[in-house]
Homo-oligomer: A and B are copies of this chain.
């Protein structure tokens, strides 16, 4: 990896952690430069605009999500185990790498009404993510685990909603039971999505 790419990675990493805490808009070039130990102009040279920096941070977050949340989960068996794995890898990723919890959740609410290129960019990522959840549910349907009449779109809506709830409970409210609550709710969601005959044959 060339020197340029390396420092850019360092910057993006620091920027993402910062943004997970205080938001992407609060991210300032000067503050970020201080954190990674370089000059404002030196750092700026890598991105040529703040907006471009923000978008690259978002891209970096999305790539990171794919790498640490989605890919590991896909190695699990198709259907329910894979869906449960997503919850687990997502929890782990958010808490291990970021001081402020999942940066994609933070970004989503920060840009939900702020017009511009960053928002458009982010929206695409979110749609992709939701599509993945929907597909994961569809696979469970195909495998005969979920009811064949299940509305996978509705499943994705509830699945994401619960993650948002978890984020709020664990971050803002600092609720120690947040993870437990989340897992219970996900279990409930999965249980009521199950096909009748699968429910009968499945243990517990």
Interface residues of A (CB under 8 A from B): 20-23, 25-26, 99-101, 105-106, 108-114, 119, 122-123, 126-127, 130, 153-154, 157-158, 160-162, 164-169, 171-173, 181-182, 184-185, 188, 192
Given A25-B23, A154-B184: A101 touches B112 (CB 8 Å cut-off) = yes
Identify which of B25, B100, B112, B127 contacts A112 (C-beta below 8 A): B100
User: Are B154 and A160 in contact, with the CB atoms below 8 A?
Assistant: no
Bound complex: CA A192 to CA B158 (Å)? 15
Identify which of B21, B112, B169, B182 contacts A168 (C-beta below 8 A): B112
A154 cross-chain contacts in B, Cβ below 8 A: 181, 184-185
Bound complex: CA A110 to CA B127 (Å)? 22
A182 — nearest CB in chain B belongs to which residue? B157
26 chain-A/chain-B pairs, Cβ below 8 angstroms: A20-B113, A21-B114, A23-B23, A99-B113, A101-B112, A106-B109, A106-B112, A106-B113, A109-B109, A109-B168, A109-B172, A110-B110, A111-B172, A112-B168, A113-B171, A123-B172, A126-B172, A127-B173, A157-B181, A157-B182, A158-B162, A158-B165, A161-B164, A164-B164, A164-B168, A188-B192
